[in-house]
Structure 1
Amino acid sequence: MYDKYEAVIGLEVHAQLKTKTKAFSSDPNAYGELPNHLVTPVSLGHPGTLPQFNEKSPEFAVKLGLACNSKITAENRFSRKNYFYADLPKGYQITQFDTPICTGGYIEIKLQESTKKINLTRIHMEEDSGKSIHDQDPFHTLIDLNRAGVPLLEIVTEPDIRSGEEAYQYLSEVRKLVRYLEICDGNMEEGSLRCDANISVRPKGSKEFGQKVEVKNMNSIRNVQRAIEHETKRQIEALENNEEIFHETRTFNAVDGTTTSMRSKEMDNDYRYFTEPDLLPLEITTEYIEKMKNELPPLPNELFKKYVEDFNLSDYDAGILTDSKEIALYFEEVVSNTKNFKAAANWVMVNVKSYLNENALHISDFPVSPKQIAELIQLIDDGKISHSVASQNLFPALTETSNKSPLELAKELDLIQDQNEDNIKQAIERVIENNPDETERYRNGEKKLLGFFMGQLMKETRGKADPKKSNSLIREMLEL
C-alpha cells in the first residue's frame, strides 16, 4: 500500500542569528537569562517606539545566500505580518514579504549512493516572537518575551524532499553551514534552529500535489525525520480509507512519535501584510556583496569535494573531517605541512579527536599544533619512529610537553628507531635463544608465529627496531 505513494515535503527553517542585540532594538540577544529580563519598550511594542535596523542581519543573510548560490535582492523592503498571539507583544511581526533578501539557490545533500540538490525558494529576514511555556503551571500558560525581536533568517525550500531521511540530511547540512558561517549556533534543543515541515502525499507518477499539512514543534533533526515518517504514513492511510486530509497545522509528540491537530492553517491574506512604515528600504550594493564574498570561510561541501577528489580520502573520512568547522580548519593546517593526506586524516580523526573527547576539550584548547602533527607524520614516513611508538609514546608526550618539536622529544625519550642491521640481528639472536620451542615450531611450518617473534623483538628493543628491516631479518634468521 505505502509503495504506491510518494511524499512531497518542503521545509521552513528558522535560524536565530548570533548578533549581540535584537533585530530592531538594542535589547541584548542572549540565551538562558531569567524570563522577561531582555526587554525594553521597543521590543515590547510600547506606543511611540520606533525600530532601528541591526546591520549584522543583512551581513549574515548575504553570506548564507552566497553559500547557497542564491540571488541577492538589491532593494529590500520590510512588511508587517499581523496576527494576535500572547507571545507577540506588538500584535505584528516585522518580516520580508515581497522582497526576500535571497531568492533561489540550493543546498546539496549526500545520500547513500548519490547526491541531491534541494532547491531553495527564498531566504528572508524577520524577527522572532516570544515563547509560550505550557509545562510549568498546570492552569496557566507563561510568557517569556526575552526572545521577542531576536533576528531570524527563514530558509524556505522548494517541495523537493521525498523522505524523512532526505529531510534529516538537509537539516544536517543547514546546521553545518550556519555553524561554518558562524551566523547561528544551530542548537535545535535550545530553539536557535527550528524547523516546520509541509508534508503531502500523492500517487507515484502524479504531477499534482496533494493537500499539504504543516507540522511544528520538532526539537531535533531526528524528530523532524520521525514526524515526517509518521505523517506520511498517516496521510497514505487516510487516502486509502477515502478520508479527507485537511489543510491544517499539526504538532509532533516526541514521546509516542505521532502528530495531532492544532488549528486550521492560515492563508497569507489572513496576515494582512503591508509595508512597514517605520523602516526605509535597505539597499544591497554590488560592492557590499563582494565584501561579504571575500569574508566567506571555506565551506563544508567545497572541503568535502577537495578531500575526496584531490586527497583521495573516502567519503566517510571527508564527512568526519568536515562535520565541524574547527576540526576541518585544524586538518587544513596539518595538510599545509605534509602531503601524506591519509595519515593526516587518521591522526586528526583518531588521535586528536579521541584526546579531545576523553578530556572534554574544544579543538581551540588542544595543546599540539597542526605543524607538530605534520612533523610527527614525517618522523614515521622517514622511518625514525614506528606508528605504534608515535601513537602510544610520542603523541601523549607531546600533549604534555608541546613546547618541543616531535623530533626533539623523540630523542629525549630515546624513541628513535634503531636502523643498524647488526644491532637488530643481535637482538633477534637473543629472541631466538630465549624461545627455542617457538623457534622449532616455526621451522616446522607454523609461519603464523612470525608475529610472536616480532612482538618479542619489540620488547627486547623497547620498540626501537625498524619494523621493515626487522621483519625480513627475522624471516631470514629463523629459516637458517
Structure 2
Amino acid sequence: MEDVKMICGLEIHVQIDTKSKLFCRCPTNYKDVEPNTNICPICTGMPGAKPMPVNKKAVDVALMVAKMLNCEIVLNKDIYFQRKHYDYPDLPNGYQRTSTPIGVNGNFLGIGIEEIHLEEDPGQYNPSLGLVDFNRCGTPLIEIVTKPDIRSPEEARKFLKNLLTLFRYLGYLRGEGTMRVDVNISIEYNGKKGNRVEIKNVNSIKGVYKVLKYELIRQKNIMKRGGEVKRETRAFLESQMITKAMRSKETAEDYRYIPDPDVQPIVIDEDWVKKIEQEMPETPLEKKRRFIEEYKVDEKDAEVLTADLDLAEFFEKVVKLTNDSKLAVVWVKNELVRSLNYHKLDLYECGVKPEHIAELIELIKKKVISEKIAKELVDEIVKNRGEKTPKEIVKEKNLTVIEDESYLIKAVEEAIKNNPSAVEDYLSGKKEALNFLMGQVMRITKGRAEPRKVIQLLKEKLDKK
C-alpha cells in the first residue's frame, strides 16, 4: 500500500491597515487612486532619499499578532531591518526592507509559528503592458512563517480560515483581499523524502488548498516513477489550478541580506508589550469560551457565532435587548444566517439591526405571531434591507396569531375532512400523521395558527372518532 506524507509550511503576508507607509508618510491607499500618485522620493527609492523612522502603529499591530499567536516577543534586543536584494521592476530600490523577528516560537491551532516580522510591500508590475504602479510600494506587511507542521490541504485551509477570523477580530489587518501566501511543500513517499518546493504568491485560501492538492499528486507521481522532485520555486496558475516551474529555489545567500544602515533598530521592552496587551481585543477563542459560560450557548453554536465578528457582536446585542440567549441563538444563528445565505448577503450590508430580531423575539414570546410567520418575517426584513420593522410588517400584512377558537375549529375540521387517509393513519397508531394534519391546518390559516393550539384541537377531534 502506498504511503504518502505531506510536510508543509506557509509564509503568510498580510497588509497592515495603517494610514501611512512603513518608512514614509505617503497614504497606503493604492486601489482607488490614479497610478503613481501616492508616492514620494522615499518609497520610490530616489537617490539620496532616506527612510523616516519606522511606522510605530505597524510595530504595535505586529506585536498584537505575535501575542495572539502565542509567540515569545523578542525583548530588549535590536530588531533591525535588512535589505533583501532581488531585481524586479516593482522594487525601485533593488531591495526589500524586512525586519528580523519580532515574535518567535508561537502556536496557533497546533501549528507552530516559526517567526513574525515586518516588511514593506513592493509596487505592482503589469508584465503584459510593461507598466509599474508604485502606489503600493512601502505599505507595511506582516509576514507569519509557520513551522512545517501542516499535514494535509484540509488542515492548511482550516488554519488559514481561523487566522483570517483572528485578523478580523484584531481589526488592523486587511485580510484575504491583500493576503499572499508562499506555500512550501515536500512529501515522503514510501519512506523516501522529496525536495522542498515553494509556490509563490497564492492569494486565496481556495488557491492554497488547490496548490497543495495538485502538488501532492504531482510530486507523488514523479517519485512513483523513480524520479527526483526538483528543489525549485513555482507559480500558481489560478485559471488552470496548476503550478508551473519559475526558477530554481533561492537560498538566503541568494538575497545577499545586509542590515539597512539607514533604518534605526527597534527595541521592544516589557512596558511596550504591557501597553499592547491592554489594547488587544478579545480573541475568537476567548469570546467562544465566554459565550458558553455567560450565555450557556452550546459549544457548536458558540463556534459558529464567533467565527464571524459581525455575527458575534450582533448576537450579543440581541441577547442584551431580550435577556434570552436561547431564542437569540435560534433567530440569529439559525434563521437570520439562513436567510442571509439564501439572499447571498453579508450581515454588515443587509440593513437588519439587532433591534429587529429583538422585536421579532418579543412578538413570538407574547404570542402575537407564530414561529412559522416569524420565519417568513425574517426573510421579509432581509429582503427589504431592514427598512421596515417586524411590527410594521405584521400590521401591514395582518400576520397576527388567530385567537378566534371557532375559526381554528373550522380549519381543523376542514383538514380532517379533506384528508381521510391521514386520519386513518393516525387512528391506526401512526402518530406522524398528526404532523401532516397540522401542516394542512397551517396552510388553511396561512401560518397564523398557533401550532400547540392546533395540535390540541386536532387531538380533541380525532380522539372522539
**TM-score, normalised via structure 2 length:** 0.85
Per the TM alignment, residue 47 of structure 1 is displaced from its structure 2 partner at its CA by 1.8
1:173 is matched with 162
Q: 5 Å matches for 1:9-24?
A: 9-24=8-23
Q: Which moved more, 1:399-408 or 1:276-285?
A: 399-408
Q: 5 Å matches for 1:18-417?
A: 18-32=17-31, 33-52=33-52, 53-74=54-75, 75=77, 76-97=79-100, 100-108=101-109, 117-134=110-127, 136-137=128-129, 141-188=130-177, 192-203=178-189, 210-306=194-290, 311-313=296-298, 315=300, 317-338=301-322, 340-353=324-337, 363-364=347-348, 366-381=350-365, 383-393=367-377, 396=380, 417=401
Per the TM alignment, residue 244 of structure 1 is displaced from its structure 2 partner at its CA by 2.8
Distance 2:5 2:442 in 1: 61
Q: Which moved more, 1:427-436 or 1:403-412?
A: 403-412
Distance 2:111 2:456 in 1: 55
> What's the secondary structure of 2:36's corresponding residue?
coil
Distance 2:118 2:415 in 1: 76
Native 8 Å contact 1:307 1:318 kept in 2: yes
Per the TM alignment, residue 277 of structure 1 is displaced from its structure 2 partner at its CA by 1.5
Distance 2:140 2:425 in 1: 74
> What's the secondary structure of 2:26's corresponding residue?
coil
Distance 1:71 1:95 in 2: 19
Per the TM alignment, residue 348 of structure 1 is displaced from its structure 2 partner at its CA by 2.0
2:410 is matched with 430
**TM-score, normalised via structure 1 length:** 0.83
Residues 366-405 of structure 1: CA deviation (Å, up to 9, x unaligned): 5543244234324424544321122324874799797998
Letter in 1 for 2:115: R
Letter in 1 for 2:279: E
Residues 293-349 of structure 1: CA deviation (Å, up to 9, x unaligned): 23222322333455567644363x445433322122111222334465453233224
Per the TM alignment, residue 10 of structure 1 is displaced from its structure 2 partner at its CA by 0.6
1:113 is matched with none
Q: How many residues matched?
A: 455
Letter in 2 for 1:430: K
Per the TM alignment, residue 412 of structure 1 is displaced from its structure 2 partner at its CA by 8.6
User: Do the aligned partners of residues 416 and 169 (structure 1) sit closer, same or farther apart at CA in structure 2, a change above 3 Å counting?
Assistant: same
Distance 1:8 1:38 in 2: 41
Q: Which moved more, 1:69-78 or 1:346-355?
A: 346-355
User: Do the aligned partners of residues 210 and 460 (structure 1) sit closer, same or farther apart at CA in structure 2, a change above 3 Å counting?
Assistant: closer
User: Do the aligned partners of residues 469 and 129 (structure 1) sit closer, same or farther apart at CA in structure 2, a change above 3 Å counting?
Assistant: same
Native 8 Å contact 2:207 2:238 kept in 1: yes
Distance 1:213 1:439 in 2: 68
> What's the secondary structure of 2:116's corresponding residue?
strand
Residues 27-47 of structure 1: CA deviation (Å, up to 9, x unaligned): 221132333232211111112
Identity %: 36
User: Do the aligned partners of residues 389 and 275 (structure 1) sit closer, same or farther apart at CA in structure 2, a change above 3 Å counting?
Assistant: same
Letter in 1 for 2:56: E
Distance 1:354 1:133 in 2: 41
Distance 1:231 1:443 in 2: 61
Residues 262-307 of structure 1: CA deviation (Å, up to 9, x unaligned): 1122221232222222222223233332332232223223334555
Structure 2 gaps of 5+ residues are: none
Residues 101-150 of structure 1: CA deviation (Å, up to 9, x unaligned): 11121221xxxxxxxx111000100111122222x33xxx3322222211
> What's the secondary structure of 1:31's corresponding residue?
coil
Distance 1:214 1:453 in 2: 63
1:467 corresponds to which of 446, 451, 458: 451
Native 8 Å contact 2:339 2:382 kept in 1: no
Per the TM alignment, residue 9 of structure 1 is displaced from its structure 2 partner at its CA by 0.6
User: Do the aligned partners of residues 479 and 19 (structure 1) sit closer, same or farther apart at CA in structure 2, a change above 3 Å counting?
Assistant: same
Per the TM alignment, residue 65 of structure 1 is displaced from its structure 2 partner at its CA by 1.1
RMSD: 3.3
Distance 2:243 2:378 in 1: 55
Residues 221-257 of structure 1: CA deviation (Å, up to 9, x unaligned): 1121121222222222323333233322111222333
1:111 is matched with none
User: Do the aligned partners of residues 29 and 479 (structure 1) sit closer, same or farther apart at CA in structure 2, a change above 3 Å counting?
Assistant: same
Distance 2:195 2:370 in 1: 64
User: Do the aligned partners of residues 20 and 156 (structure 1) sit closer, same or farther apart at CA in structure 2, a change above 3 Å counting?
Assistant: same
> What's the secondary structure of 1:105's corresponding residue?
strand
> What's the secondary structure of 1:104's corresponding residue?
strand
